[in-house]
Structure 1
Amino acid sequence: LIIMGKQAIDDDSNQTGQMLAALLGWPQGTFAFKVNVGEGSVDVTREVDGGLQMVGLKLPAIVTTDLRLNEPRYASLPNIMKAKKKPLDETSPETLGVDVAPRLKVVKTAEPGGRKAGVKVGSVAELVQKLKVEAGVL
């Protein structure tokens, strides 16, 4: 069972968990409100627009969390100092037999065009006329 946050620090795309699940071919439960791990399965309760939805997944699985899943524990200063003294074992992907070669290729990146300046109109009739003729939305 891999438990992940729902978003990255640079944006709110909510795609890391889903991409990992797709690459591994594992089932996924997103926005976990409550998680119950059973024998070979996990039940994920998630909050949706209409209330709560429960999803049953076979293990192994990916679960992305919601803020309501857990109350964070904040480390005390003495425990932070103790942690600094503990040894940290390091390993490499090669030791674990993991291929870290890129699987995606960026074909092209382009910035969107700049926005045009707005136009002030003198009346509602003029606004409606511009929307009909220039914008073509009416």
Structure 2
Amino acid sequence: ATEVVAVTIGPKASQEQLRTALALGADKAIHIETDEKLESLHIAKLLAKIVEQETPELVILGKQSIDSDNNQTGQMLAALTKRGQGTFASKVVIENGKVNVTREVDGGLQTVALNLPAVVTTDLRLNEPRYASLPNIMKAKRKPLEVIAADSLGVDLTPRIQLISVEEPAKRTAGIIVEDVAQLVEKLKTEAKVI
């Protein structure tokens, strides 16, 4: 990579994660600042604006976020930018203008080859987390961090999903202990009526 750009969307406190990314080797950072809780489509559209501005060959996103946990943003971004996508990557190899993405599937491993530019979402097995050294943390303070207001990118951030209610699941009743297999079979026949 000739340049690594870290991007995050969120309130001013999100800049801490960008500074960490800069300390770990990113060349510059972009913070799309908003205090609103955004939906996956909003985030994908905002990121599409940054992709249009920066024209990266490879966009790498996490598999899912911790807020809505729905695993949609990467796929939406690929569709909006008309790029190939590789999801749940556990290994990424770039060679000859292609990116080979290896992912875990039920039957083992699957490798897909994508033409660049592409969008890849990552699995936790892609890399080993590391810590930033103190000299790199100090250097990160001098690296560029651009702040862009989310509403300045021309994306409609009106919520499309409305949360109506959240309820706890019904309390489970206590189970029973049976003396032997014969009693278990009898209860399955007479009470549960599953045999």
Q: Comparing both chains, which one has the higher relative contact order based on Cα–Cα distances under 8 Å and sequence gaps of 6 or more? A: 2
Flag the structure with larger Rg. Answer: 1
Aligned length: 134
Within the candidate set 17, 21, 24, 2:75 is matched to: 21
The alpha-carbon distance between structure 1 residues 23 and 75, as it changes in their structure 2 partners (threshold 3 A), is closer
The alpha-carbon distance between structure 1 residues 23 and 108, as it changes in their structure 2 partners (threshold 3 A), is farther
The alpha-carbon distance between structure 1 residues 122 and 54, as it changes in their structure 2 partners (threshold 3 A), is closer
Q: Secondary structure of the residue that 2:139 maps to in structure 1? A: helix
Aligned to 1:101: 158
Matched ranges for 1:58-97 at <5 A? 61-84=118-141, 88-97=145-154
Q: Secondary structure of the residue that 1:117 maps to in structure 2? A: coil
Deviation track 1:62-100 (CA, whole Å, cap 9, x = no partner) reads: 311134433444210222233346564311112222222
Distance 1:69 1:104 in 2: 32
Distance 1:87 1:19 in 2: 26
Distance 1:62 1:31 in 2: 11
Q: Give structure 2 stretches of 5+ with no counterpart.
A: 1-57
Distance 1:67 1:6 in 2: 9
Within the candidate set 101, 110, 131, 2:167 is matched to: 110
RMSD: 3.1
Question: Which amino acid in 1 is paired with 2:75?
Answer: A
Check if 1:123 corresponds to 2:180. yes
Distance 1:30 1:59 in 2: 15
Q: Secondary structure of the residue that 2:146 maps to in structure 1? A: coil
Q: TM-score, normalised to structure 1's length?
A: 0.70
Deviation track 1:94-121 (CA, whole Å, cap 9, x = no partner) reads: 2222222223223443322110111122
8 Å contact from structure 2 (residues 61, 121) kept in 1: yes
Aligned to 1:134: 191
Distance 2:119 2:178 in 1: 53
Distance 2:85 2:133 in 1: 34
Q: Give structure 1 stretches of 5+ with no counterpart.
A: none
Sequence identity of aligned pairs in percent? Answer: 58
